[in-house]
């Protein structure tokens, strides 16, 4: 952890034109301890950021610039809000220059380079850094994040799923070999590039699963669940597209080892585990969380159910995929890395209606 005192942090963003990038801009412009030093985009070089994103007019006086290692190395921290395969080519030089990095893409989440290559169809450009990268889920790795030079921010689906299963796996209360996660995401989770399935006429008034035979978030989910359980854990993960802009709803299923554990005791377990977590909220018994309760906020809201007092526990988990699932979590990580209050710049509640 770097103690910055009252010094303002100089931050840079690589890839500022996508949904995660503009969300990062929205959050950082309101952060009292951050100065945005540069934001890169080859396609928008020379264009005012506020021209592309009018919601930032009067808040940010920057132009997009072409990526420059020299300029980025002037920053205390650089965020990568890019597709996979970008950060891994630029990060080694930034680390060598002493700049710390938070990567919101998938380049530094997996520790096994062979596993990364299998799921992303290419060799990793700097496999030696995978072992140094800290997995960016604060509720799991807060102490390690504090001293990290490189953090691979946890993905959106993996964040909702790992937080939902966390107390059960930490205590060994469920069968970690047969975990099930059925989760739905808004269309912003697919990124900003033009894709026919994301068109309103294609996705509207419809609901579908995708990646049921294997999704790139699965190895990250299983890596994280195994870390939490202290041994191998396996999950069946089926993602879905829901016709809304942002939000993730995950319905999680786990079989209890001891059916003598009461729902009240399990509710208390969750409340104790997350009592000191500023961004995880365990809802009262019987609650069914909605994605709109966390829209625009860096919160995960959880609810625990036990249908018919049977041997299966159901945990409902909701996050905003662009905030706690991406850019908000990245800001939370930055706060931890530089010894700031963890909630700084992230205090805003969800948007309703």
* 196 & 127 share domain: no
> What are the φ and ψ backbone dihedral angles of 224, each rounded to 5 degrees?
-65, -45
- The active-site residue out of 75, 126, 153, 156 is 156
* 121 & 193 share domain: no
| pLDDT score recorded for residue 6 | 80
| pLDDT score recorded for residue 261 | 86
| pLDDT score recorded for residue 7 | 86
| pLDDT score recorded for residue 135 | 98
* 138 & 193 share domain: no
| pLDDT score recorded for residue 196 | 87
* CATH code at position 254: 3.30.360.10
* CATH code at position 60: 3.40.50.720
For residue 334, pLDDT beyond 90: yes
| Torsion sign (Cα): 280, 84, 194, 236 | negative
* 244 & 292 share domain: yes
38 is catalytic: no
* 82 & 119 share domain: yes
Tell me the residue range of the domain where 30 lies.
Answer: 9-154+325-337
Tell me the pLDDT tens digit for each residue of 89-110: 999 999 999 999 999 999 999 9
Classify residue 220: in a domain, yes or no.
Answer: yes
* 135 & 195 share domain: no
Beta strands in the chain (DSSP E): 9-14, 34-40, 64-65, 77-80, 100-103, 134-136, 150-153, 179-185, 208-209, 235-241, 248-255, 280-282, 300-305, 312-319
* Separation of CA 204 from chain center: 25
- ω before 6 within 30° of 0 (cis)? no
* 42 & 135 share domain: yes
* 173 & 149 share domain: no
Domain count, the chain: 2
């Amino acid at each position: 952890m770097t103690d910055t005192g009252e010094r303002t942090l100089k931050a840079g963003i690589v890839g500022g034109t996508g949904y995660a990038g503009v969300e990062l801009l929205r959050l950082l412009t309101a952060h009292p301890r951050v100065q945005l030093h540069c934001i890169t985009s080859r396609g928008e070089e020379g264009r005012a950021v506020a021209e592309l994103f009018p919601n930032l007019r009067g808040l940010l006086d920057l132009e997009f610039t072409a990526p420059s290692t020299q300029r980025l190395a002037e920053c205390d921290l650089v965020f990568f809000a890019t597709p996979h395969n970008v950060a891994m080519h630029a990060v080694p030089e930034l680390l060598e220059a002493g700049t710390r990095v938070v990567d919101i893409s998938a380049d530094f989440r997996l520790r096994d380079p062979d596993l990364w290559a299998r799921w992303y169809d290419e060799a990793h450009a700097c496999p030696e850094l995978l072992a140094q990268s800290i997995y960016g889920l604060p509720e799991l790795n807060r102490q390690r994040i504090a001293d990290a030079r490189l953090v691979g921010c946890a993905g959106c689906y993996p964040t909702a799923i790992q937080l939902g299963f966390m107390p059960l796996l930490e205590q060994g209360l469920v069968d970690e070999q047969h975990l099930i996660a059925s989760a739905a995401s808004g269309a912003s989770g697919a990124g900003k590039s033009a894709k026919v399935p994301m068109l309103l006429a294609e996705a509207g008034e419809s609901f579908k699963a995708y990646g049921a035979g294997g999704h790139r978030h699965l190895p990250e989910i299983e890596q994280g669940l195994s870390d939490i359980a202290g041994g191998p854990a396996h999950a069946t993960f089926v993602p879905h597209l829901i016709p809304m802009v942002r939000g993730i709803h995950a319905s999680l299923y786990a079989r209890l080892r001891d059916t003598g554990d009461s729902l009240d005791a399990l509710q208390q377990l969750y409340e104790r585990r997350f009592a000191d977590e500023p961004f995880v909220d365990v809802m009262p018994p019987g609650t069914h969380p909605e994605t709109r309760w966390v829209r625009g906020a860096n919160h995960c809201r959880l609810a625990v159910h036990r249908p018919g007092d049977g041997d299966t526990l159901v945990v409902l988990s909701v996050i905003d995929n662009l905030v706690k699932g991406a850019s908000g979590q990245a800001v939370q990580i930055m706060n931890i890395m530089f010894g700031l209050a963890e909630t700084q710049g992230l205090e805003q509640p969800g948007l309703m209606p």
